[in-house]
């Protein structure tokens, strides 16, 4: 998995990022996204079922709200026809603080979450 690092902006002025899984698959990450998840719907055999995905994203949003950071959900596409993306996005004025918080929150909660992942924020922190 590779994140294209050209023209992604800065932590103070982020731009859309692209996560390339291989030579033909990948997905765009919205500029103000701080976390995301794949979503494969509500079918019985869905590997990333919508209710579970939304529950995990809600946990992060609740933690961010407690820090005074307003969030919203945004949907996106994925090169896999049977999978969509859901993103937690924040206002630009909160992006740096929210990105830092989300990176730590995802790491701390990595053993009690299954679907949530970062939003390729490593391009700003490395």
Structure token digits, residue 82: 């049977």
Q: What pLDDT was estimated at residue 85?
A: 94
pLDDT of the chain, 126 residues: tens digit per residue: 555 555 677 778 888 887 777 777 788 889 999 999 999 999 999 999 999 999 999 999 999 999 999 999 999 888 777 889 999 999 999 999 999 999 999 999 999 999 999 998 887 876
Expressed in percent and rounded to 5, the helix, strand and coil fractions of the chain are 30, 30, 40
User: How far is the C-alpha of 36 from the C-alpha of 65, rounded, in Å?
Assistant: 17
Task: Please tell me whether residue 34 adopts helix, strand or coil conformation.
Answer: strand
Predicted local confidence at residue 3, as pLDDT: 53
**Which residues, other chains included, contact 77 with Cβ-Cβ below 8 Å and sequence gap of 6+?**
27, 28, 84, 85
Domain 32-120 carries which CATH code?
3.30.70
Is the pTM for the entire model greater than 0.85? yes
């Amino acid at each position: 998995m590779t994140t294209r690092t050209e023209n992604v902006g800065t932590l103070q002025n982020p731009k859309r990022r692209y996560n390339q899984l291989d030579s033909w698959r990948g997905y765009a990450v919205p500029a103000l996204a701080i976390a995301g998840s794949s979503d494969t719907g509500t079918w019985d055999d869905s590997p990333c079922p919508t209710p579970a995905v939304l529950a995990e994203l809600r946990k992060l949003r609740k933690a961010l709200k407690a820090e005074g950071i307003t969030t919203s959900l945004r949907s996106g596409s994925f090169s896999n026809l049977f999978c969509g993306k859901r993103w937690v996005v924040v206002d630009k004025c909160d992006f740096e603080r929210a990105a830092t918080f989300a990176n730590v929150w995802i790491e701390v909660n990595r053993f009690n979450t299954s679907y949530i992942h970062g939003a390729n924020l490593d391009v700003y922190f490395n």
